Amino acid sequence: MLDGKTCLVTGANSGMGKETALALAQMKATVVMVCRNKRKGEAARREISKKAGNESVDLLLCDLSSLAEVRGLAAEVRNRYGKLHVLVNNAGLLSFSGKTVDGFETTFAVNYLAPFLLTNLLLELLKSSAPSRVVNVASVTHFGGHIDLAAIENRDTPWGFGAYSNSKLALVMFTYELARRLEETGVTANCLHPGGVATGIWRIPPVLVRPFLKSAKKGAETSIYLASAPDVEKVSGEYFEDKVAKKSSDESYEEKKALALWDATSKLVGLSA
């Protein structure tokens, strides 16, 4: 049970995020749902609260493609909640065109820059609430990714599937570097591959593929496990699949590149490196 614990889940109005928020609410946590759309978010909040029999389910609105809105979200969390025990960076997308208001490729911005900034802005709250956990929803597609620091610094990152793979690799490397920085603080950081999940992000696969995809409920199991299971309370800096720690890509373990990526990202989002 998570009585007295505060858990924040991004992208919580549908798919795996909604299932994760529901499971944590059923464990009696105070759940903070972060959604972009007020109508959909409020409908999901009411549904989760009713199903879980838990009135401590809140909704905060944020467009994660905007760094200003991410900063606003972090400030609201710090002001409204005196503690934060679990941060699940679940929100993600696959975009084939367009840039954000800040001039970044949309997929890379939402899947990586937003969780990087949000997590850093909430680190002190997580530390003061320890033991606490950061859970980043990555993907097996990170094996096909590559970190080109020059392209990132110049905001010249690819789009489409390339952006998706690169963003998930960056998220895995961020998780590992974050875990190293959080040693002895009581805050853990882990990432995961949820499996091929039939959620809104995969509208592209043909109908024949969908029967082979996991349900959102099944896909959320590892996120829920990392957010709540006692046996991983002190586990940090790992990549999980089906609740089991697995080896991630070779590039993801390059510590010098991870450090350089951290510094480059800090400059892009306006944080002190």
Q: Strands 239-241, 244-246: parallel, antiparallel or unpaired by DSSP?
A: antiparallel
Residue 18, CA atoms < 13 Å, CB-side half-sphere: 18
Q: What is the Cα–Cα distance from 251 to 248, expressed in whole angstroms?
A: 8
Dihedral of CA 107/256/182/244: which sign? positive
Q: Which residues are identified as catalytic?
A: 164
Asked if residues 1 and 10 have their Cβ atoms less than 8 Å apart, the reply is no
Neighbours of 211 (CB within 10 A): 7
Alpha carbons 128 and 131: distance in angstroms, whole number: 9
Phi, psi of 7 (to 5 degrees): -125, 135
- Looking up tokens 């899947």, which residue turns up? 111
**Which pair of structure tokens corresponds to residue 68?**
């200003």
